[in-house]
């Protein structure tokens, strides 16, 4: 079977690496990078670290408005799908790269397989929510990470075949956790003691694109008595710069470049608490037994909140301060996202299709 995989953004390299390792045992995989993320530390570092081959092609679309970026990807992917004639196009998550690949494949009547299907925030102002819903409705094979994701898809009566595979990111974390402990020097480099710092990330458009919101959120983080380490997404750095708050943030926080995956897993594993607006980071904190404070009003990963490991606080400064001060690891943890064998399940289901 020949599978054409499309990736473009940081979390997709990590998810695709987990599946690729399994898929390439018995199948041909052509890996196309859209070029949505392109900085060394947002892209290349993951291919070097995660043991996946270099992309077969990079469309190098770069950054642009949603429409222009998606359109350029769509045109490039159509050409590649035509040239490769794959049995299926495999897409991940909810970025513009995901949507472009789904539309390109749908228009060419090529089967679409969607990993991380069925997630919903029910917040239609998030670009990612639109990408997810449209991709799920175009997909032929929907690989859902949890029972709730399956239910969400059933409620929407999607036409494709829905399967609960578990979450590929759990596979990724299981692969990385011990390797990170053995190989990452990030704690020494930053002079950090385990359990004595907060790890934060902020990149969601809803938080970064409003100057008051971003400044308030960074102030709330900085008020925490522990050291706050913030590997900053380029979007966030650009906004800080634009709003004239970068220097202030650099003074109050340990602002560093985006970290490689092993360093970032190590930072999450050893943090006292994680504060984030990332989808993937909420889940990884959960897998790594680190309590999480989520700076969003809602989450697609509701199981982590229901289990008491994740607290939703939005961008309200007081709520962030309070949640950081009180976050604690519950005594128990359920396993709503499978057993860490999602990549094998995805590969088997692709075989059977």
Catalytic (active-site) positions = 203
Q: Do the beta carbons of residue 100 and residue 70 sit within 8 Å?
A: yes
Question: Is 203 among the residues that bind ligand UD1 (CB under 6 A)?
Answer: yes
Among 231, 291, 336, 338, binds ligand UDP (CB under 6 A): 231
CA atoms in the 13 A half-sphere facing the CB of 27: 25
Only segment of 7-15, 247-255, 303-311, 330-338 that touches ligand UD1 (CB under 6 A): 7-15
Question: Is 14 among the residues that bind ligand UDP (CB under 6 A)?
Answer: yes
* Residue with tokens 């092993």, as numbered in its chain: 262
Question: Is 340 among the residues that bind ligand UDP (CB under 6 A)?
Answer: no
Question: Is 201 among the residues that bind ligand UD1 (CB under 6 A)?
Answer: no
Phi, psi of 30 (to 5 degrees): -105, 125
Q: With CB cut-offs between 5 and 8 Å by kind, which of ligand UDP, ligand UD1, none does residue 264 bind?
A: ligand UDP
Among 137, 226, 235, 333, binds ligand UD1 (CB under 6 A): 235
Among 206, 216, 234, 314, binds ligand UD1 (CB under 6 A): 234
Number of residues in contact with ligand UDP under rule CB under 6 A = 15
Question: Is 269 among the residues that bind ligand UDP (CB under 6 A)?
Answer: no
User: How big is the chain by its Cα radius of gyration, in Å?
Assistant: 19
Distance CA 344, CA 260 (A): 25
Distance CA 146, CA 348 (A): 17
Among 281, 293, 320, 342, binds ligand UDP (CB under 6 A): 281
Distance CA 134, CA 115 (A): 14
Q: Do the beta carbons of residue 174 and residue 194 sit within 8 Å?
A: no
CA 69 to chain centre: 19
Among 20, 36, 164, 165, binds ligand UD1 (CB under 6 A): 36
Would the CA dihedral through 232, 18, 9, 91 be positive or negative? negative
Q: With CB cut-offs between 5 and 8 Å by kind, which of ligand UD1, ligand UDP, none does residue 308 bind?
A: none
Q: With CB cut-offs between 5 and 8 Å by kind, which of ligand UDP, ligand UD1, none does residue 59 bind?
A: none
- Name which of 278, 303, 190 is nearest 293 in CA terms: 278
Locate all alpha helices (DSSP H) within 147-228, ordered by sequence. 147-155, 168-183, 186-189, 205-208, 211-222
Q: Do the beta carbons of residue 84 and residue 4 sit within 8 Å?
A: yes
CA atoms in the 13 A half-sphere facing the CB of 88: 23
Distance CA 102, CA 14 (A): 19
Residues 6+ apart with CB under 8 A from 316: none
Question: Is 39 among the residues that bind ligand UD1 (CB under 6 A)?
Answer: yes
Question: Is 238 among the residues that bind ligand UD1 (CB under 6 A)?
Answer: yes
Question: Is 299 among the residues that bind ligand UD1 (CB under 6 A)?
Answer: no
Question: Is 9 among the residues that bind ligand UD1 (CB under 6 A)?
Answer: yes
- Kindly tell me which of 242 and 339 has the beta carbon lying closer to ligand UD1: 242
Distance CA 323, CA 121 (A): 21
Q: With CB cut-offs between 5 and 8 Å by kind, which of ligand UD1, ligand UDP, none does residue 281 bind?
A: ligand UDP
Which pair of tokens denotes residue 85?
């004639």
- Kindly tell me which of 27 and 235 has the beta carbon lying closer to ligand UDP: 235
Among 35, 280, 291, 340, binds ligand UDP (CB under 6 A): 280
Output the smallest distance, CB 272 to ligand UD1, in A.
24
Only segment of 8-16, 72-80, 151-159, 343-351 that touches ligand UD1 (CB under 6 A): 8-16
Q: With CB cut-offs between 5 and 8 Å by kind, which of ligand UD1, ligand UDP, none does residue 39 bind?
A: ligand UD1
- Name which of 113, 170, 171, 169 is nearest 350 in CA terms: 113
Question: Is 264 among the residues that bind ligand UDP (CB under 6 A)?
Answer: yes
- Please report, as ranges, the residues that interact with ligand UD1 according to CB under 6 A: 9-11, 36-39, 42, 63, 94-96, 127-128, 203, 233-235, 238
Binding site for ligand UDP (CB under 6 A): 10-11, 14, 201, 203, 231, 258-259, 261, 264, 278-281, 284
């Amino acid at each position: 079977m020949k599978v054409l995989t499309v990736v473009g953004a940081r979390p997709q390299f990590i998810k695709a690496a987990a599946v690729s390792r399994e898929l390439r045992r018995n199948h041909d995989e052509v890996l196309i990078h859209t070029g949505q993320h392109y900085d060394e530390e947002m892209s290349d570092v993951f291919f070097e670290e995660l043991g996946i081959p270099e992309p077969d092609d990079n469309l190098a679309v770069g950054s642009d408005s949603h429409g222009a970026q998606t359109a350029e990807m769509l045109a490039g992917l159509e050409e590649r799908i035509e040239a490769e004639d794959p049995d299926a196009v495999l897409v991940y998550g909810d970025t513009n790269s995901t949507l472009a690949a789904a539309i390109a494949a749908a228009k060419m009547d090529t089967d679409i397989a969607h990993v991380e299907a069925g997630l919903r925030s029910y917040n239609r102002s998030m670009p990612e929510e639109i990408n997810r819903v449209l991709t799920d409705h175009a997909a032929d094979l929907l690989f859902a990470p949890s029972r709730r994701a399956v239910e969400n898809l059933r409620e929407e009566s999607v036409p494709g075949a829905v399967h609960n595979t578990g979450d590929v990111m759990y596979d990724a974390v299981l692969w990385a956790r011990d390797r990170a402990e053995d190989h990452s020097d990030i704690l020494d480099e930053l002079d950090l003691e385990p359990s004595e710092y907060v790890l934060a990330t902020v990149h969601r458009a809803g938080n970064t694109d409003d100057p008051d919101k971003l400044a308030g959120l960074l102030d709330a983080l900085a008020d925490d008595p522990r050291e706050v380490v913030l590997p900053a997404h380029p979007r966030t750095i650009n906004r800080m710069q634009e709003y004239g708050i970068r220097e202030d943030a650099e003074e109050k926080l340990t602002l560093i470049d985006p970290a490689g995956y092993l360093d970032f897993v190590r930072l999450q594993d050893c943090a006292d608490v994680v504060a984030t607006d990332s989808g993937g980071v909420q889940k990884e904190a959960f897998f790594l037994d680190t309590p999480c404070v989520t700076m969003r009003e809602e989450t697609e990963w509701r199981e982590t909140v229901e289990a008491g490991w994740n607290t939703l606080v939005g961008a309200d400064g007081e709520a962030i301060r309070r949640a950081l001060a009180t976050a604690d690891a519950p005594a128990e943890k359920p396993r709503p996202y499978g057993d860490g064998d999602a990549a094998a399940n995805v590969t088997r289901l692709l075989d059977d299709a």
